[in-house]
Structure 1
Amino acid sequence: MTHASGTSEEMKPNNMLLHPLDMTAAPQPELLCIFGTGDLGRSLGLRLLQSGYRVVYGSRRPNDCGPLPLGAQVMTHAAAAQSASLIFICVHRDHYEFLEQMAHHLQGKVLVDLSNNLKKNMYPEANGSYLQRLVPKAFVVKGLNTLSAWALQNGLLARKQVYLCGDSTEAKQVVAQMATKLGLTVLDKGSLSAARELEDFPLQLFPEWRLPLSIAVGLTAFFFFYLLIRDVIYAYVENGSDISYRIIISLANKVFPIVALVMLSLCYLPGAIAAFLQLYRGTKYRRFPNWLDRWMLCRKQLGLIALGYAFLHAIYTFIIPIRYNVRHKLISRVVDEMKDNKTTPFYFDNTEAWGTDSFLALGMLGFFLFVLLGLTSLPSVGGTLSWREFSFIQSKLGHLTLFICTAHGYIYGWNKFLRPATYKWYTPPGYMLCLIVPSVVLVLKLLLLLPCVDRTLTRIRQGWERTQPREEMDEIKATNL
Structure 2
Amino acid sequence: MDVEMADIEKTIHTKENTICIFGTGDFGRSLGYKLLQVGYNVVFGSRSQDSTPLLPKGVEIMDYGEAAQRSSIIVLAIHREHYYFLTNLSHILNGKVLVDVSNNQKVNQYPESNAQFLAQLVPNAKVVKAFNTVSAWSLQSGLLDASRQVFVCGDDSNSKRLVMDVACRLGLTPLDQGSLLVAGELENYALHLFPMWRLPFFISIGLTAFFFFYCLITDVIYTSIKEGKDYSFLIAVSITNRVFPIVSLTLLALVYLPGIIAAFVQLYRGTKYRRFPHWLDRWMLCRKQLGLIALGYAFLHAIYTLIIPIRVYVRWWHNNYLISQSKLGHVTLLFCTAHTLIYGWNYFFDIHYYAWCLPPAGTLSLIIPCTVLVLKFFLITPCIDRKLTKIRQGWERSPKHRK
TM superposition shift of 1:116? 0.8
| CA contact 1:228–1:247 (8 Å) conserved in 2 | yes
Contact 1:132 1:138 in 2 (8 A): yes
Gapped runs of 5+ residues in structure 2? 1-9
8 A Cα contact 2:23 2:46, kept in partner: yes
Alignment of 1:171-250 (within 5 A): 171-182=159-170, 183-190=172-179, 192-250=180-238
**Counterpart in the other structure of 2:367:** 436
User: Deviation string for 1:357-410 (max 9, x for gaps)?
Assistant: 4x235323124224xx2xxxxxxxxxxxxxxxxxxx3xx311122122223322
Cα deviations by residue, 1:132-191 (Å, 9 ceiling, x for unpaired):
34444433323221222233232257862412224x44433332332333332231421x
Whole-angstrom distance in 1 between the partners of 2:270 and 2:335: 33
Indicate the residue corresponding to 2:305 in structure 1: 317
- In 2, the alpha carbon distance for the partners of 1:275 and 1:196 equals 34
Structure 1 length as normaliser, TM-score?
0.72
2:243 alignment partner in structure 1: 255
C-alpha displacement at 1:281, in angstroms? Answer: 4.3
CA positional deviation for 1:261 = 0.6
Which residue of 93, 98, 102 corresponds with 1:111?
98
The Cα of 1:287 is off from its aligned counterpart by 4.1
Cα distance per residue 1:13-49 (max 9 Å; x no partner): xxxxxxxxxxx99x65711111122221122112222
* 1:64, distance to aligned residue in structure 2 (A): 4.7
Which has the larger displacement, 404-413 or 111-120? 404-413
User: Which residue of 2 is the match for residue 417 of structure 1?
Assistant: 348
Question: CA 1:419–1:470 in 2, change beyond 3 Å: closer, same or farther?
Answer: closer
8 Å Cα contact 1:180-1:186 kept in structure 2 = no
Deviation at 1:298, TM superposition (A): 2.1
1:78 to 59, 65, 70: 65
Deviation at 1:230, TM superposition (A): 0.4
The worse-fitting range, judged by mean Cα deviation, of 413-422 and 298-307 is 413-422
The separation in 2 between residues aligned to 1:436 and 1:83, in whole angstroms, is 67
2: CA distance between counterparts of 1:253 and 1:158? 36
What is the number of equivalent residue pairs in this alignment?
387
Shift of 1:94: 2.2
Alignment CA distance shift 1:453-1:103 (3 Å): closer
Deviation at 1:228, TM superposition (A): 1.0
CA contact (8 A) 2:151 2:186 kept: no
The structure with the larger Rg is 1
Aligned equivalents of 1:269, 1:142: Cα separation in 2: 37
Task: Please point out which of 245, 269, 282 is paired with 1:294.
Answer: 282
Corresponding position of 1:274: 262
Deviation at 1:299, TM superposition (A): 1.5
1:274 touches 1:288 (CA, 8 Å); kept in 2?
Answer: yes
Give me the TM-score of the superposition, normalised by structure 2: 0.85
Could you give the per-residue CA deviations for residues 391-444 of structure 1, whole angstroms, max 9, x where no partner exists? xx3xx3111221222233224324433333322223211011101211221222
Q: Secondary structure at the match of 2:75?
A: strand
- Do 1:142 and 1:195's aligned partners in 2 also have CA atoms closer than 8 Å? yes
> Which range moved further: 359-368 or 248-257?
359-368
- Alpha-carbon distance in structure 1 between the residues aligned to 2:166 and 2:279: 38
Matched AA of 1:302: L
1:336-366 Cα offsets, whole Å, 9 max, x none, are xxxxxxxxxxxxxxxxxxxx54x23532312
Aligned ranges 1:317-466 → 2 under 5 Å: 317-320=305-308, 356-357=311-312, 359-370=313-324, 373=325, 393=326, 396-465=327-396
3-state SS, counterpart of residue 323 of structure 2: helix
For structure 1, list consecutive stretches of 5 or more residues without a partner in the other structure.
Answer: 1-23, 327-355, 374-392, 472-481
List 4+ stretches of structure 1 deviating above 6 A. none
Tell me if structure 2 keeps the 8 A contact 1:158–1:184: no
Q: Give 2:5's aligned residue.
A: none
Aligned partners of 1:290 and 1:195: how far apart in 2? 22
Aligned equivalents of 1:87, 1:449: Cα separation in 2:
56
Q: Percent identity?
A: 55
Change beyond 3 A, Cα 1:100–1:453: closer
Deviations 1:50-77 (A, max 9, x none): 2221112222333353422343333333
1:47–1:155: 8 Å Cα contact kept in structure 2? no
> Partners in 2 of 1:281 and 1:136 — Cα distance?
46
Provide Cα deviations, 1:245-299, integer angstroms capped at 9, x if missing partner: 3223222221121111111101111222232343444443454344333322221
